[in-house]
Amino acid sequence: MIFSADEILETLDMILYEHLDIRTVTVGINLMGCVRDDPEQMAQAVHDRIVSVASKLRSEADRAVARYSLPIVNKRISVTPIGSLIDVHPQSGPLIASAMDEAASELNVDFIGGYSALVQKGFTIGTEALVSSIPEALSTTEKVCASVNIATTKAGINIEAALRMGRVIKELARIDPQLCTRLVTFANAPPDNPFMAGAFHGPGEPESVVNVGISGPGVIRALVERMGDCDLGELAEVVKRAAFKITRVGELVGKEIAARMNVDFGIVDLSLAPTPQKGDSVAQIIEAMGIERCGAPGTTAALAMLTDAVKKGGAMASSRVGGLSGAFIPVSEDAGMAEAIRVGAIGLEKLEALTSVCSVGLDMVCIPSATPAETIAGIIADECAIGVINDKTTGVRLIPVGKEGDLIEFGGLLGAAPVVPINAFSSKKFIKRGGSIPAPLMSLGN
């Protein structure tokens, strides 16, 4: 692509006026060398390894901000899934979570992810203990995030794990509903995701790596508004070109930070990640395309076009695109999405349909606190089915709180959302069958 001087100036306007930012710089760290015979020694080794590798993260991120005048909103760390670390000491999960939290506080980073388990085919001693300990681990830490992958296209869906996660979410909500914002249940979880709560340093990753998540829904919304009544093919092209520019900025900054920290550069995750800030909304991009209210007929098609154009532009711009890359629709973090739910334009079923074409899933959705664990498990299973059949990542971050119609305020970047109604009919008998839903036919030849 050849860009004109006007387009270069347009990139500056993105930063100055349209909320373009690097949403996160996330350092991934391998902890497999931290296994010890004694649980306390292992926790100390985890702490020391994190502090050693990520000691320059904040200072180098701040240096990049000063050099490029591009905001970096979050500095984060992801680590090897702790469930794979604690088979030798199954009860040591909360102790390691505490060590992770202390390291994150010392380094002054925003979150640390990787209190995680991969259980798509079943539980080991360590992963079973970790899942059981999530309520204790999250309620006794401030920065630790947890994730559990219960399904893949090659393995199918672990329904027993879905029910376990339904019960964990209920217990977290009983302690404090806001704790649920730090837990996500996945199908096809990516190993290089820089975004929380689902980040972990997955199999196949190097010893340490910098992954960058860059966001610009405000940029894309302003661009769509400027394009007027052009046809959809032309609109997709200009979104793709904008995504190219945004991704180039992210790769430049990420590579510089990685080099100065003496770690590998990993991927750029170009995801339109909204915030509650005015104009920084994926729902408002869809409305700028001509959908009267996000959720009206045509919304899924508009979101599919947006996600595809963003991915195409990002893939052309970066040597390594990864993570989730596309468009997020977290309800509480997107003021336009929350408003669409409030006025009845979107319900849970329409949200579920949108997740078939967005880059994640049911994210930051408030449901009534009385929702049974089996119903939560059914929602998780439905979302995993979309991911498994379409061979894409889907995630679920549900917050049982209040009653239908209540407006729940989380504050900060987590925003606010109304509590969505849940189908009153039960899936309890289906979920209680347990076992696993087999992998779809498409995976058997791979």
Residue 218 makes CB contacts below 8 A (sequence gap 6+) with 18, 19, 20, 277, 279, 280
Q: What confidence tens digit (pLDDT) does each residue in 17-66 have?
A: 445 778 899 999 999 999 998 999 999 999 999 999 999 999 999 999 88
Closest to 326 (Cα-Cα) out of 296, 350, 303: 303
- How many Cα atoms occupy the beta-carbon half-sphere of 188 within 13 Å? 22
Average of per-residue pLDDT across 166-194: 97
pLDDT tens track for 110-143: 999 999 999 999 999 999 999 999 999 999 999 9
Instruction: Give percent above pLDDT 90 in the chain.
Output: 73
Tell me how far apart the alpha carbons of residues 299 and 295 are, in angstroms, rounded to a whole number.
6
State yes or no: pLDDT of 310 exceeds 80.
yes
Tell me which residue of 213, 160, 151 sits closest to 187, measured CA to CA: 151
Most confidently modeled of 76-80, 194-198, 317-321? 76-80
Beta strands 72-79 and 21-29, pairing class: parallel
252 confidence band (pLDDT: 50, 70, 90): confident
Amino acid at the residue 151: A
CA distance 270 to 324: 8
Three-class DSSP category at 166: helix
Calculate mean pLDDT across residues 363-372: 97
Q: Among residues 141, 117, 144, 147, which one has the least CA distance to residue 129?
A: 117
Whole-number Å distance between alpha carbons of 68 and 253: 8
Selected residue with higher pLDDT from 319 and 124: 124
Q: Can you say how many angstroms the Cα of residue 94 is from the centroid of all Cα atoms in its chain?
A: 23
Beta partners for residue 75, in sequence order:
25
Answer for the pair 321, 274: CB distance below 8 angstroms, yes or no.
Answer: no
Closest CA to 202 of 84, 42, 46, 43: 84
pLDDT for 247: 84
In sequence order, the 6+-apart residues with CB closer than 8 A to the CB of 106 are 51
- Give the residue with greater pLDDT, 219 vs 409: 409
Could you give the CA distance from residue 433 to residue 427 in angstroms, rounded to a whole number? 10
The answer to which of 94-103, 322-331, 373-382 has the lowest mean pLDDT is 322-331
Looking from the CA of 312 toward its CB, the CA atoms found within 13 Å total: 13
What average pLDDT does the chain have?
91
Question: Where is average pLDDT lowest: 7-16, 162-171, 181-190?
Answer: 7-16
User: What are the sequence ranges of the domains in the chain?
Assistant: 23-187
Token pair of 68 as six digits: 């490029």
Q: Report the distance separating Cα 11 and Cα 16, nearest Å.
A: 9
Taking residues 310-319, report their average pLDDT: 83
pLDDT tens-digit map of 270-281: 888 888 888 789
Q: Cα(118)–Cα(20) distance, rounded to whole angstroms? A: 34
Beta-carbon-side half-sphere exposure of residue 38 (alpha carbons within 13 Å) = 4
**Mean pLDDT of the 347-364 span:** 93
Provide mean pLDDT across the span 96-110. Answer: 97
Pick from 308, 104, 62: nearest CA to 196: 104
Q: Is the pLDDT of residue 98 over 60?
A: yes
Residue 309's SS3 state is helix
Start-end of H helices in 149-216? 159-175
Cα 406 off chain centre by: 25
- pLDDT band for 13, please (50, 70, 90 cuts): low
Token pair, residue 164, equals: 């376990």
* Model pLDDT, residue 16: 47
As a CATH number, domain 23-187 is 3.20.70.20
Structure confidence at residue 14 (pLDDT): 57
CA distance 35 to 33: 6
Strand segments, DSSP code E, in 71-134 are: 72-79, 111-118
- β-partners of residue 326 are 271
